Structure 1
């Protein structure tokens, strides 16, 4: 995990830390770093941002006689990455507390994204997490388009002993969400998790359908679900969904298999919304809070 970016940062650190820091040496090393970042699925905008911040912090700096050049360069890298991930550091949401503190229940969570990124499993993982924190929730099967989607969600619901609200295939997805919210209101249920159909962000008809779900359900939290392995494709998807629906944050799936790490480094800077959780496996327990500071330390070379 994250091997490619870490290698690029390590190489930059080794080149720049060997002798006196000069503008030429920094620029040459930054060019190599930028190429490595881009090849690791970091967006060009984010790669440029990191390079610019590192250059500003290093070029022209006066180094004291006893100052450690290696640590100076390492700290400049860390600071640049912190800046890129700032919204994920400061914009974290304590989901359980948000749900507990909402006066008018239920707290509504809508999961959105393209096909095949793991929205349904992520819905089940969130339900499992909330249940373990003493909260009750139900699942809304608002994916009425994909064959087998309702049965898949019902299977998760059965395993977790969590109610699934559904209608038939081809029915109004917004009506399913509406029914689920009313069911939860009548029974004082803490949260409703809405699983929506995957849709290509450029398909206007499908985007209109999810807009209708959002309008009817008025979710407290709109979460973009993205597959970390798809790199820059995921970043473009997140940007389009954010432009259309104003997401509140993201969950990245398959992070455990992502050797590049560029998507995680880019998405919160591009959308200006935090990464909330990461999926690190196929079990219900494999949903972790995204800890930006821990992520940065994992990237930093020795």
Structure 2
């Protein structure tokens, strides 16, 4: 029969635990954010998102015991998980939408929305190039009948890519242009219609009414918002405005090769809870990367 361990040896275990472990407090989490707040703001992460992240980590971590000296690592790992949840919004990709439409014997209709200067028309060309590379046959619809030279710009891309462009006169009804493009694509066996739209200021009521009509008449399979990542927090306001008027299904952010960290991606995902499909990373048609949430979060946290 073994002898009981001395009482002295047993009572030492509790103090020892206090020495090697620590309970995370809200003060620890506040300290972490106070220390890193400027870096996040410089990366275009909005204050609203900062507050959300801070509160989320308090809910998840406050009161948990960890090894001493590991507080920052523990908080950073939890932050990474929250960031991934924010940017990993569920949604369909181009291929899935096109294949689903083909099952119903019709071309998929993609309507591109966005403010002037966001790179919308170039993004449409990149999307068309991407679809061609996947074996699909797209047609372009010159639905921006307001901006000078917008139709010629889209035709230029169409010529370079060998893609048909459906157009009307400037000042024409944008909804009618997209409608005609859909009819053409269906009659000729095309797989997809990529429609450009006007991009006046997102505060322009007439523009929003016009876009609402385009959507109401044509019932697109996907409404894609194109945002300039360099506009910072204004991208969030644009996203909310377009989403409230016409409903956004997915987002593409441009100029991310210039926007070093791309915190506006995080802010937009948080604001409208819609997936980011692609990132524009340059001027060439090939500069069009599928968005990878893990890669983005690692870059944001410099891992």
- Compute the TM-score of the two structures, normalised by the length of structure 1: 0.87
Q: How far 1:24 sits from its partner (Å)?
A: 2.7
Aligned to 1:96: 95
- Alpha-carbon separation, structure 1, partners of 2:98 and 2:299: 31
Matched ranges for 1:58-137 at <5 A: 58-64=61-67, 68-87=70-89, 91-102=90-101, 103-137=104-138
Q: Secondary structure at 2:171's aligned position in 1? A: coil
In structure 1, what is the equivalent of residue 14 of structure 2?
none
Which residue is equivalent to 1:7?
none
Match of 2:203, SS? coil
1:285 matched to 2:281? The reply is no
**1:13-36 deviations in whole A, cap 9, x for unaligned?**
xxxxxx985543432332343344
- Alpha-carbon separation, structure 1, partners of 2:196 and 2:180: 13
1:128-156 per-position Cα deviation (integer Å, ceiling 9, x unaligned): 00011110010000111111111111010
Write the deviation string for residues 60-79 of structure 1: whole angstroms up to 9, x where unpaired: 221247x9545423211212
Mean Cα deviation higher: 31-40 or 92-101: 31-40
Deviation at 1:92, TM superposition (A): 3.7
Whether the aligned pair in 2 keeps the contact of 1:199 and 1:207 (CA below 8 Å) is: no
Instruction: Tell me, in whole angstroms, the C-alpha distance in 2 between the residues paired with 1:24 and 1:170.
Output: 59
Quick one: distance in 1 between partners of 2:253 and 2:233?
Answer: 13
Is 1:111–1:193's contact at 8 Å kept on the other side of the alignment? yes
Q: SS in structure 2 opposite 1:63?
A: strand
Contact 2:23 2:65 in 1 (8 A): no
Q: Give SS of 1:255's match.
A: coil
Instruction: Tell me if the contact between 2:97 and 2:221 (Cα under 8 Å) persists in the aligned partners.
Output: no
CA distance in 2, matches of 1:143, 1:168: 10
Gaps of 5+ in 2: 1-21
Partner of 1:275: 276
Q: Cα–Cα, structure 1 residues 149 and 29, in superposed 2: closer, same or farther, change >3 Å?
A: same
Which ranges in structure 1 are unaligned for 5 or more consecutive residues? Answer: 1-18
Partner of 1:149: 150
Q: Secondary structure at the match of 2:136?
A: coil
**Counterpart for residue 45 of structure 1:** 48
Counterpart-to-counterpart distance in 2, 1:123 and 1:270: 24
Deviates more, 1:155-164 or 1:201-210: 201-210
For residues 163 and 82 of structure 1, the distance between their equivalents in structure 2, rounded to whole angstroms, comes to 39
Determine which structure has greater relative contact order: mean sequence separation of CA pairs < 8 Å that are 6+ residues apart, divided by chain length. Answer: 1
Q: Deviation of residue 255 (structure 1)?
A: 0.6
Q: Contact between 1:110 and 1:219, CA under 8 Å: does it hold in 2?
A: yes
**Alignment-derived partner of residue 9 in structure 1:** none
Structure number, greater radius of gyration: 2
Q: Output the CA distance in 2 between the equivalents of 1:106 and 1:285.
A: 24
Q: Where do residues 172-211 of structure 1 align in structure 2 (5 Å cutoff)? A: 172-211=173-212
Structure 2 distance, partners of 1:73, 1:277, is 29
How many residue pairs match? The answer is 280
Secondary structure at 1:97 match in 2? helix
Instruction: Report if the CA contact (8 A) 1:34-1:48 is conserved.
Output: no
Q: Tell me the SS of whatever aligns to 1:282.
A: coil
